[in-house]
Structures are given as C-alpha cells and as structure tokens.
Amino acid sequence: MKTKKVLVVDPLEKRRRRLASFLRELAYELTEVQDIKQAADKLLGVNNFSFLIFNCSQLDSYQVGLLRSIHSFNPRLSIILLTPQDEPYLGVELINKGLIHHLGEPENLSGLYAVLINEQEKQELRYKNDLYLKELRKLKREQERYLKKADILEEIYDTTIENLMTALDLRDVETFGHSRTVAKYSQVLARILGIEEKEKLDNIRKGALLHDVGKIAIPDSILKKAGSLTEEEWEKIRLHPSLGFGLIKEIKLVPEVGNIILYHHERYDGTGYPQQLKGEHIPLEARIFALADALDAITSYRPYRKERDFQVAREEIIKNKATQFDPEVVDAFCSIEISKWEKIRFETTRFLPQYEPWIKSAKSR
C-alpha cells in the first residue's frame, strides 16, 4: 500500500512530536507545522498530502477562511480536528460548515488511528468511484457516438429502401406510388389489430415498401407485357416473392420485413403462392399486407381498366373474406369508414396527380 502523507498542525511542540512519533511508527509520512497559516503555505499549491490533522480549540475568522481555502483547493484531502471533549463547539461549527471530516481527542491516539483508517478507506472508495464515473462518461460518449452512427445508418437504410422502391415503381409506371400507399394502409390495419410497437410498425412499413423487390429479376418483356401472360410467364411472375426474399435476406432483415416479401401472395384458403400456406400459418403482417395490396390495386388506374372507388373495393374485399383474406383483417378494414381510407390514400399520394396523365398516355401508345 502506498505511504500516506500527513500534515500535523499543533502549536504545542511536545504534543505535536508525540503524535508525529505515533504516526511514523504506523508507517505514515509526517510533516509538522505550528499553525494553520503554515499549513496553508504547504497545502495551497501542488502537494500530495492525504490528511490534515490540526489541534486547536478556537479559530478566528481569518483562520477559518484559510481552512475554507485549503478545503476548496484540496477536495480529496481528509481534514481531522483534534479538540478537547469539553470544548466541542468549534468542531460542531466546522462540521456544519462542511470544512472538516472528523473530530477526535488530542490524547486518544488509538481513536485517531481508527479515524485515519476510516478516512483512508473512504479516499480509496472515492478514487474508485471517480474511475467508475470517468469510465461511465467514456462509455456514455461512445454510446452517443454509436447511437448517432446507428441513426445515420438507419436513415441511409430507409433512404435506400425509398429510392429502390421509387426506381421499381418508375420501372412499372402503372403502379407508381403503389409501395408507399400500401405501406400506409398496412400500418393503419396493423394498429387496428393491436400492433402498437413503434419498431414493429416501422418494420411493416419497410416490408411493404420492399414487397415487390423480387420484380427486379423479372424481365421487362414479361413485367410490361400489354397482352395476357402465358402460363410459363405466370410461373416466372410467381417467383418474385422468393426472388425478393433471396435478394435481401443477407442485409438487415427483420422477420416482419422478410415475411411480407415472401408471403404477400399467400391466400387465407391456402391457394396462394409460393408455399400455399393457409390461415394463421401465414404470418400476420403478410395477411395484413395482402388486403392493403388488394385495396390499392382495386382503387388504382390500370391500362386494362379504370380505377374503381372504395365502395367497390370494400364489396370486393368482403366477398373474398376467408378465401383470399383473413376474416379478422377484413373486419379491421371494415371498422373504418370509407371516407377515412380515401383520406389516407389522398394524403399518401397527393404528389402523384402530375404523373397520372403521363402514366396513362405512356401506356396507351
């Protein structure tokens, strides 16, 4: 253990020497002075004292001021006042002012040693606590940097998804804006069905945005074909959920996102694709998305038919309850007035009207 330095202040030389001798025998390193002024000269500058022990029964205002300066300049210094038991007032005053840590009696050397041991343990605890606080502040700074980087990466990830889906929508101009619209419908349905967790709702949004990412691998000759598709071409179209899942499974892919991409064409009665899952074997987020996807498809323009209104969409969805769609999801959809679904669509696609004439004219050529 490192030797602790003690500064002893006592105007009486005999008593001071007795105390110094006692402490040296206990392996403390001693410095002796006669008064608080001499102590201040040693302590109001760079020093490595651990303890100040001073013996007195009274201090004037100047001396109290010096003690206050010593205390402020040496926050780790343990200050011990030795005063007769029948003169406790000075000690009580200094304790109340927060200028000393312990009181002792000049003649009770064993008691003073116990005080020193106690203060030494407190100093070591304070030192360890300071180290812990320093490490905690360091960890906090690192966490803040990590969170900042995570936020930046999340923003880049979201922007990448948005840009990717915009590119896909523009590739198939008749469905421009489709991904954003079904993403909003899916989140609204999810909340009606009791999904309130922010992260899960955001994952459903991301899955909806990425649901048709597999169409990247479908040739334009099939994707943009004006006439009816052959059975062979339909087989290729039906591959896009699996292709999409395979394309992005290596990146940041949470279950909700992957489930929507892979299972969004499954049907509640088990006649969908790619795995012919039935009922609740289809993940809930995929069942939610299937209805949202159909709602937007029915109410959007297609080159082979005009867009239909939400009343027609509602009737069509109810008609396919328990066959194409989960009955609970249909009930959730029907629990909201048609005008509110129309408002959701308008707010999601209000930047699109300028594109619609171009889309229609491009497809009519």
Which of 78-82, 98-102, 179-183, 288-292 reaches the highest mean pLDDT? 288-292
191, 53: one domain:
no
Measured in whole angstroms, how far is the alpha carbon of residue 238 from the centre of its chain? 39
Helix and strand totals (H; E) in the chain: 16, 5
Whether residues 326 and 266 fall in one domain: yes
Provide the domain limits for residue 319: 172-364
Q: Are 181 and 130 in the same domain?
A: no
Model confidence at 354: pLDDT above 60: no
pLDDT at 253: 65
159 found inside a domain: no
Q: Is 13 found in the same domain as 118?
A: yes
pLDDT > 70: percent of the chain: 87
- The reply to whether 212 and 77 lie within a common domain is no
Query: Where does a domain end: 78, 104, 134?
Result: 134
CA 184 to the chain's CA centroid: 24
Residue 47, pLDDT > 80, answer: yes
Query: What's 365's DSSP letter?
Result: -
d(CA 168, CA 178): 10
Domain presence at residue 153: no
Q: Give the number of domains in the chain.
A: 2
For the chain, give the percent of residues with pLDDT over 90: 47
Lowest mean pLDDT among 102-111, 152-161, 175-184, 340-349: 152-161
Domain boundary among 86, 116, 134: 134
Q: Kindly state whether residues 194 and 324 are assigned to the same domain.
A: yes
CATH of the domain at 224: 1.10.3210.10
Q: What is the DSSP string of 223-257?
A: HT-SSPPPHHHHHHHTTHHHHHHHHHTTSS--HHH
Based on the fold, state whether residues 97 and 219 are members of the same structural domain. Answer: no
Per-residue pLDDT tens over the stretch 129-172: 888 888 888 888 888 887 777 777 777 667 766 666 666 665 55
Domain CATH code at residue 130: 3.40.50.2300
Mean pLDDT of 320-332: 96
pTM: 0.57
Cβ neighbours of residue 37 closer than 8 Å, sequence gap 6 or more: 63, 66
**Given pLDDT bands bounded at 50, 70 and 90, which one contains residue 350?**
low
The mean pLDDT of 105-114, rounded to a whole number, is 88
Check: CB of residue 214 under 8 Å from CB of residue 261: yes
Residues 120 and 267 in one domain: no
In this structure, the answer to whether residues 180 and 125 fall within a common structural domain is no
What is the structure's pLDDT at 9?
A: 93
DSSP 96-163: HTT--SEEE-TT-HHHHHHHHHHHHHHHHHHHHHHHHHHHHHHHHHHHHHHHHHHHHHHHHHHHHHHH
Fill in the DSSP letter of residue 44. Answer: S
